Amino acid sequence: MTTVPTSGPASRTVGDRHRLRNILLTLLTYLLALAFLFPLIWMIMAAFKTEAQAFATPPVFFFTPIWDNFQRALPSYLPALTNSLVAAVGSTLLAFVLGLPAAFALAVYPTRRAQGVLTWMLSTKFMPAVGVIVPLFLLFRNLGLLDTRLGLILMYTTMNLPLVVWMMHSYMSEIPFAIYEAAKVDGASVAQEFFGIALPLSMPGIAATALLALIFAWNEVFFALNLTSADAAPLSVFIGEFKTSQGLFWAQLSAAATLVVLPVLIFGWIAQRQLVRGLSFGAVK
């Protein structure tokens, strides 16, 4: 359709027409991309405006940026940031501790049953959170896990574990098998194969997977809202508190939102290619 460069007998007019079409398509691409980025640009701009400027109609496009909004958002942002960091990092670590050995075993000892285990792990993703939230809520209440960081870590681990197993399985299957064979000949144990070969050789995969797990845990809303209230409330709950502000504190809301999304945006931009692979569970490379 839009794939263009033809190798046909290019008369001059045809070439010109193609060039024009190419320029127009490029313009269209830029316009569409701008449209998609606009809500974010608008939000980040508002974070540097005064409340009056943020709320003004017609909108203010040119202004002197100020930092006050960030300073005002910071006191309530920091505790939520700590909770988000602990929950995201903790759950990513736990998911790796549980998931890496499993991924290794499934990749290096691929039996028919291993394929079944992989499929089953993916199928746990078919389980909507609402299908498990009620008993988990009651259980957490009885165990005193409600509104604790540990509770969040446990739930986010459930969310990220299938992802870790699948992605790491995909990376570890790419390690040439001859390396394992050689190690076996030298009498390496399973543990030595795991720590000596599989882990060091799949470091790039570990980095990409960890990033994705961190982002998912950071952005999670459902468990955060329903299993925490004050003490362990992460950033998603902190931002949720602005939902009733009804246009009263747009600049401050924008500053808070910018602080929440900026880390994820930067990391996501850096690792975009690996993210795409991870998001499709390695199915599309």
Q: Binding residue for other proteins (CB under 8 A) from 125, 200, 203, 231?
A: 125
Structure tokens at 177: 């098998």
Establish if 203 lies at the interface with other proteins (CB under 8 A). Answer: no
Type of residue numbered 158: T
Nearest distance from C-beta of residue 12 to other proteins, angstroms: 21
Establish if 9 lies at the interface with other proteins (CB under 8 A). Answer: no
Nearer to other proteins, 86 or 114 (CB): 114
Nearer to other proteins, 63 or 242 (CB): 242
End-to-end Cα distance, the chain: 23
Nearest distance from C-beta of residue 71 to other proteins, angstroms: 20
Establish if 265 lies at the interface with other proteins (CB under 8 A). Answer: yes
Establish if 63 lies at the interface with other proteins (CB under 8 A). Answer: no
Which secondary structure element, helix H or strand E, spans residue 3, and what is its range? none
Nearer to other proteins, 57 or 64 (CB): 57
DSSP 8-state assignment for residue 281: T
Q: Binding residue for other proteins (CB under 8 A) from 151, 239, 252, 255?
A: 239
Residue at token pair 């190690």: 183
Return the residues of window 158-197 that contact other proteins according to CB under 8 A.
Answer: 158, 161-162, 165, 173-174, 176-178, 184, 187, 189-191, 194
Nearer to other proteins, 79 or 282 (CB): 282
Distance CA 20, CA 14 (A): 10
DSSP 8-state assignment for residue 198: I
Angle, helices 203-219/68-108, rounded to nearest 10 degrees:
130
Q: ∠ at Cα 138 (134, 143), nearest 5°?
A: 145
- Other beta carbons within 10 angstroms of residue 143's beta carbon come to 11
Q: Are 161 and 98 in contact (CB under 8 A)?
A: yes
Establish if 32 lies at the interface with other proteins (CB under 8 A). Answer: yes
Stretch that binds other proteins, among 10-18, 52-60, 65-73, 85-93 (CB under 8 A): 52-60
Q: Are 260 and 278 in contact (CB under 8 A)?
A: no
Establish if 230 lies at the interface with other proteins (CB under 8 A). Answer: no
